[in-house]
Chains A and B, each alone.
Chain A
Amino acid sequence: MPAYLIVEQLLNGLQFGVMLFLSAAGLTLIFGVMGLINLAHGSLYMIGAFAAAAVAGATGSFLLALAASLAAAAAAGVLVEVLVIRRLYDRDHLDQVLATFALILIFSEGTRWIFGSFPLFLDIPAALSGPVTLPGGIQYPLYRLTIIGVGLAIAAGLFLLIARTRIGIRIRAGEADRDMIAALGVDISKLYTLVFALGAALAGLSGALVGAIQSVQVGMGEPVLILAFVVIVIGGIGSIKGALVGSLLVGLTDTFGRILLPVLFGTFMDPAAATSVGAALASMSIYVLMAIVLVLRPTGLYGRA
């Protein structure tokens, strides 16, 4: 395998990981701070993509579309938190799973009701379309490089928010001891709504960014939700740093599994069987990774015991 192909696949893995990080960050934040399992996180991702597609279709502006995805997902997040989620903090995880699963169904059918059953169109803005030539002669799509840049910038922004700001201090305090922070006079329910809206907005932004190179359709959030859960289990629940490292690990493992395993099996099997077996094992690779991490570190890479 030539070196430039390996570099290109590294970039692909990195970009896939960064996309995962955007959805996993919100999920891990919500779980870490509020102890809530939010299965409807994928629906917020879908809402972001649909809002972006609708606004891009009406105005033709990709920046407005991104703004709309943030606003729509955050608004849906606040609505859901106030109406439903707020009643679930003291319940056990099973009740939370049941209620947020119901939310998935409601959001999916609601979206179908408004937008119909056929996929929507959302394209890359003209300024970012097409490939650029990187040093070494590698051709790589500019839009994917942009996603890597945006994702890393958001990761840096989140670190600063959590580590350096007053809200960040409260979020960390809320994670550590929610009764104590309430007793100290912090309005915990406002803080929860804020964190939930932040997580939802991140998911919505990720849906809009990814929707431009994938398909905007009902049910697009569920596969992402599963991957995001894998990421936060690997990274350690509640840790933003864990979500970043976990996302990149999953992105790279999945990408290299897909290209290397069929080649590996091809060295001792006939090609048709090798591609089939290799592909089957590649789709398991991230779960194998998760199992290995859990054996070595049961709380995840950066999780607290």
Chain B
Amino acid sequence: MKLKSIALAAAMAAIGFGAQAEGLKVGMITTLSGGGAGLGIDVRDGFMLAMKQAGRDDIEVVIEDDQRKPDVAVQLADKMIQSEKVDVLTGIIWSNLAMAVVPAATAQGKFYLSPNAGPSALAGKRCHPNYFNVAWQNDNLHEAAGAYAKEAGYKNSFILAPNYPAGKDALTGYKRTYGGGLAGEVYTKLGQTDYAAEIAQIRASGADSVFFFLPGGMGIAFLKQYADSGVDLPVVGPAFSFDQGILQAVGEAAMGVINTSQWNKDIDNAANKAFVDSFQAEYGRLPSLYASQGFDTANLLISASAKADVADQDAFRAALKAAEFDSVRGDFKFGPNNHPIQNIYVREVIKEGEVYTNKIIGTALTDHADAYAAECKM
């Protein structure tokens, strides 16, 4: 008995030692329970699909649930860095959690690859050579919505977003490219589910269009109530309220709505086609933009680890920055602040058979970089 456990311990130590000596260890902290778990699950599934396809068993991934709570995320990051000894962290969905975890992780010499959150501070003054955002800077999709509104000739938009940092980034982003007048600008409570008062204001405001950023359940509630109110002004928004995970819950109310995204399932390239097919085959549902971001994040990591050992930080960083992987978005490269330079598309909600989904109808911004790169000194 005793001999057996010693042998076991020795074997475990050998495995543990082996993994540390040559492998790459990744810690994924993402939201897998509570409200908003759908986003984290999509990022995780996209990420793990890429890992499985690459067949790289030398890359070990540890996955933990942050419950959408900053304090939990910080604890998990500490645990992963100190006792799991991960080399790379990834996975965080929400900007407030990213602000709590990322600066501390990069300061301890870890790499952080963001599959979603892109708060303006981390793109500008507090940028870091070890922090790479594979999704977008928070303002980007809203800037694209503003560009679309300008091109569509809207002159008097009513704009609304929740009263928290990403909501303010959203309205700032829209106004940066839109350039027209505002019929109203409203901040709602985060988590608000009844928008009757705001819709009445929209009706009375004389606006010619509505821009809104209300992620998750807030967007579902707003769209259903808006469709039922009889106000029929054109609506434009970022992809977050129209992604594959929630469109089915909105239903008919979302039909024809214009939204902006850096990815869609009909972007025509081989990597994307293979991704959409294999994701559907593996999980039995269509991928969302969050899944595409998770998939790209994993492929970026795999491409860098094929070229350099993570122990050689400078070489690994250069390999990440080169971004030599086949992104499902097509062309993809990093700007000077390690944030993407990419096209952002205009999509329209359509129905394919019984499933609501999006199709691309144009390009809002070409090779778009974020507005904070100039503030980043590294």
State the A residues within 8 Å of B (CB): 2, 4-5, 8-9, 12-13, 15-16, 19, 108-109, 112, 117-121, 123-124, 129-131, 139, 141, 143-144, 210, 212-220, 223, 255, 258-259, 262, 271-272, 275-276, 279-280, 282-283
Contacts and interface: CB of A to CB of B under 8 A. Distances in A.
Given A143-B228, A214-B224, A279-B163, A117 B249 contact: no
Given A119-B217, A223-B191, A255 B197 contact: yes
A217 B228 contact: no
Interface string B33-70: 11101100100000000000000000000000000000
Interface centre among B41, B163, B188, B251 (most CB of A within 10 A): B163
Given A139-B203, A139-B230, A214-B194, A271 B186 contact: no
Given A118-B245, A214-B224, A279-B189, A2 B34 contact: no
B180 to A, nearest CB: 15
A210 B221 CA distance: 10
Contacts of B191: 223
Contacts of B197: 9, 12-13, 255, 258-259
B246 to A, nearest CB: 6
Given A121-B248, A213-B221, A279-B188, A130 B200 contact: no
Given A16-B196, A259-B201, A215 B189 contact: no
B324 interface: no
Contact of B163 (A144, A214, A217, A283): A283
A118 B204 contact: no
B38 A118 contact: yes
Nearest to A124: B228
B200 A12 contact: yes
A219 B216 CA distance: 12
A297 B248 CA distance: 47
11 contacts: A5-B201, A15-B196, A16-B194, A118-B249, A119-B220, A139-B230, A214-B217, A220-B217, A259-B200, A276-B163, A280-B163
A132 to B, nearest CB: 9
B367 to A, nearest CB: 30
Which 3 interchain pairs have the tightest Cβ spacing? A131-B230, A215-B220, A279-B187
Interface in B120-164: 163
B228 A112 contact: no
A143 B188 CA distance: 23
Nearest to A19: B194
Could you tell me the dominant secondary structure of chain A's interface residues? Answer: helix
Contacts of B189: 258, 279, 282-283
B62 to A, nearest CB: 21
B229 interface: yes
Contacts of B203: 8, 139
A275 B230 contact: no
B228 A131 contact: yes
Given A214-B221, A218-B37, A282-B189, A2 B228 contact: no
Contact of B198 (A210, A258, A276, A283): A258
A121 B221 contact: no
Given A144-B196, A214-B194, A283-B163, 19 more contacts: A2-B204, A5-B204, A9-B200, A12-B197, A16-B194, A118-B245, A119-B246, A123-B224, A139-B230, A143-B228, A213-B221, A213-B224, A214-B193, A215-B246, A216-B249, A220-B35, A223-B193, A276-B163, A280-B163
B277 interface: no
Contacts of B249: 118-121, 215-217
A262 B225 CA distance: 22
A53 B217 CA distance: 15
Nearest to B187: A279
A9 to B, nearest CB: 6
Contacts of B200: 5, 8-9, 12, 259
A282 B250 CA distance: 27
Contacts of A13: 197
Interface centre among B41, B191, B194 (most CB of A within 10 A): B194
A199 B261 CA distance: 45
B255 to A, nearest CB: 13
A214 B220 contact: yes
B186 A218 contact: no
Interface centre among B187, B188, B189 (most CB of A within 10 A): B187
B228 A213 contact: yes
A301 to B, nearest CB: 23
B217 A215 contact: yes
Nearest to A8: B200
Interface string B87-129: 0000000000000000000000000000000000000000000
B185 A215 contact: no
